[in-house]
Amino acid sequence: MSSSQETLLNGRYRLLAQQGSGGMAVIYKATDLALGRTVAVKILRPSLTNDPEFLKRFRQEARNVANLSHPNIVTVHDVGQDGNTHYIVMEYVDGEDLKKLIRASAPFSIDRALSIAIKICAGVGYAHRAGLVHADVKPQNVLVTENDNVKVTDFGIAQALTATKPRDQERQRVVWGSPHYFSPEQAQGEAPTPASDVYSIGIVLFEMLTGRLPFVGTDQQELAMAHIRETPPKPSQFNPNVPEHLDRILMKVLSKEPTARYRTADQLGRILLSYRRRGQITTDVVPEVGSEPSFPATAATIPPEAPLPAPRAAAPSPVSTPRGPVGGARSEAPTYIYSEVPAQSPPTMPGVPSVARPGYSTPVPPAPMIQSRYRAVEEPPQLDLVTLVLAFIAFLAVMLLIPLWIAVYQAWMG
């Protein structure tokens, strides 16, 4: 990009104003002069553009993300280069990133936090089905519009960085991802997987519910150690409005072992959606939060030895929750997931001790029935026609046997 055209990329994208910045790129609001529309242009920092292998991988990841069409994923329109400036063009989302909303108004109401988390799961889960891992899920990469619609952004950059780093001792000192949100396996230098994204979504949900992060540290090394070794606190320790069973779901999502979590964001989304639909939360009357995403069906279900009793009707008890947008809650039978994925011994990162991970298969327990603030009322059993007919026949048989019993008794006495 020449100095005389410092606000114009390739004669097409006119940069209007800087919208934000991060360790990897600077984001601008821009106008696409060819199509006459407003777009967002993300310009990679020069420190990343000196590696030809990274640029090749980045362009490929951008093409992969451009093929994703989902209402909860920011659409990629173009990827290009103007001189030494490398950029990616995306749809412009008129909203704020989730981190700003958390700083301004967290803790969120239970229903609003679940609604946003479910939509994040829908977008990231769609990418998982396409074979893509986000690798850097965090509130800064989640855009929220005025009506709480959610758009996940920044697919591809962290993944391209991870894929182009050789697995040698020198490069393994670099851990890609955000230290407050990355998974224990990422903290040890392993390549991220869909289960890594699930862990990061769990951290984001924890932060929405409590207004704070589960792990803190003075530097990246200390944070990495916390993710690897420390047991996360329960959200209810910081927000008493968080139900016990939502605590349990989050503790599973934040498991140190990837195979102990839900394997994909779709699976976590189904659990959260089922939990939200089965729970009746009493709050002030406010507008609904957007529309609920749908998740694909799964062939795996909870084995019969771990059943979940499902109430036929739910009677809500009053609960005091923070004021905020809520969605409609309705009764629906949930789908439960379980996986059997053998664990593998991970490589280690110098300075960060490894966690022993023996190979085993871990069934995922069903989402717990909501009890603490959601009371179940059992309906009386209903008698069907077959049962009534059989009862009538039995009654007739008894009545017909009575004269026989009398005759036998008289013969015996006489």
Catalytic residue numbers, as ranges? 136
Beta strands in 22-133 (DSSP E): 25-32, 37-44, 76-82, 85-91, 95-97
| Residue 50, both tokens | 């000196």
Cα separation, 117 vs 354, in Å, equals 30
User: CA-CA-CA-CA torsion for 202, 206, 209, 215, nearest 10 degrees?
Assistant: -170
- Tokens matching residue 260: 């102990």
Q: What are phi and psi of 44, to 5 degrees?
A: -65, 145
- Token pair, residue 175, equals 């851990």
Residues 6+ apart with CB under 8 A from 76: 62, 65, 66, 68, 88, 89, 90
Residue with tokens 């899920």: 137
Angstrom distance (rounded) from CA 317 to CA 315? 7
Taking each helix axis from N to C terminus, what angle separates 194-210 and 98-105, rounded to the nearest 10 degrees?
30
Listed in sequence order, the DSSP H helices in 167-308 are: 184-187, 194-210, 220-229, 244-253, 265-278
- How many of the other CB atoms lie within 10 Å of CB of 247? 18
Structural contact between residues 196 and 186, judged by C-beta atoms closer than 8 angstroms: yes
Q: How is residue 4 annotated by DSSP?
A: G
123 phi/psi in degrees, rounded to 5 = -70, -50
Nearest of 105, 114, 94 to residue 292 by alpha carbon:
114
Q: Where are the beta strands (DSSP E) in 45-179?
A: 76-82, 85-91, 95-97, 142-145, 150-152
* Tokens standing for residue 313: 């009707």
Q: Which helix (H) or strand (E) holds 407?
A: helix 385-413
In terms of Cβ atoms closer than 10 Å to its own Cβ (0-12, 13-18, 19+), residue 238 is middle
